[in-house]
Chain A
Amino acid sequence: MADAAIVAEGLGKRFGPVLALDGVDLELPAGGVLGLLGPNGAGKTTLVRILATLLKPDCGRARVAGFDVAQNPAAVRRVIGLSGQYAAVDPFLTGHENLVMIARLYGLSRGGARRRAGELIDQLGLAGPAGRLVRTYSGGMRRRLDVAAALLAAPPVLFLDEPTTGLDPGGRLELWHVLGQLAAGGASVLLSTQYIEEAERLATTIVIIGHGTVIASGPPDQLKAQAGGDRLELQAPPGQDPRLLAGALAGLGSAEPDVDEATSRVILPVADGAGILPAVAGRLAAAGLHVSALALRRPTLEEAFLALTSQPVHRTGSAR
Chain B
Amino acid sequence: MTAAAGRAARPGRLTPALVSTGTITARNLRRLVRVPTLLVFATVQPVLFVLLFTYTFGGAIHVPGVAHYIDYLLPGIIVLAIGFGASQTGVAIAEDLTTGMIDRFRSLPIPGSAVLAGRVAADALRNLFVTGLMIAVGAAIGFRFHAGPAAALAAVAFAVATGVAFSWLNLLLGLAVRDPESAGLAGLFPVIILFFTSSALVPVATMPGWLQAFAKANPITVITSALRALCLGSPTARPAVEAVAWLAGLLAATIPAATARYRRAAGT
Interface of A toward B, CB cutoff 8 Å: 15, 49, 52-55, 74, 77-78, 80-82, 84-88, 90, 92-93, 97, 101-102, 104-109, 112, 116, 119, 133, 149, 152-156, 185
Contact = CB atoms under 8 A, between A and B. Distances in A.
Interface in B203-254: none
A97 B7 CA distance: 19
Contacts of A77: 107-109
Given A80-B107, A88-B104, A92-B30, A104 B8 contact: no
A84 B100 contact: yes
Given A93-B30, A119-B4, 16 more contacts: A54-B266, A78-B8, A82-B103, A84-B100, A84-B103, A86-B99, A88-B104, A92-B31, A101-B26, A105-B109, A107-B10, A108-B4, A108-B8, A149-B104, A154-B1, A154-B8
15 contacts: A80-B107, A82-B104, A86-B99, A90-B31, A92-B35, A93-B27, A102-B108, A104-B19, A104-B23, A105-B110, A106-B108, A107-B16, A107-B19, A108-B8, A152-B8
Contacts of B30: 92-93, 97
Interface residues of B, number: 35
Nearest to B108: A105
Closest 6 CB pairs of A and B: A88-B100, A154-B1, A153-B8, A86-B100, A154-B4, A82-B107
Contacts of B19: 104, 107
A101 B23 contact: yes
A25 B104 CA distance: 25
The residue among B8, B12, B20, B31 with the most chain A CB atoms within 10 A of its own CB is B8
A102 B20 CA distance: 9
A258 B23 CA distance: 58
B20 A156 contact: no
Contacts of A108: 4, 7-8
B150 interface: no
A49 B103 contact: yes
Task: Determine chain A's interface SS by DSSP, over half rule.
Answer: loop
Interface in B1-59: 1-5, 7-12, 16, 19-20, 23-24, 26-27, 30-31, 34-35
B1 A105 contact: no
B34 A92 contact: yes
B20 A105 contact: yes
Given A86-B100, A90-B27, A112 B7 contact: yes
Contacts of A149: 104
A154 B107 contact: no
A189 B5 CA distance: 16
Contacts of B268: 15
A154 B2 contact: yes
Contacts of B10: 107
Contact of A52 (B4, B9, B23, B107): B107
B105 interface: yes
Nearest to A98: B27
A14 B24 CA distance: 33
B141 interface: no
B16 to A, nearest CB: 6
B68 interface: no
B262 to A, nearest CB: 12
A176 B100 CA distance: 22
Contacts of A92: 30-31, 34-35
Contacts of A90: 27, 31, 101
Contacts of A88: 99-101, 103-104
A82 B5 CA distance: 15
B261 interface: no
B106 interface: yes
Interface in B106-128: 106-110
Contacts of A78: 8-9, 109
A119 B16 CA distance: 23
A104 B1 CA distance: 17
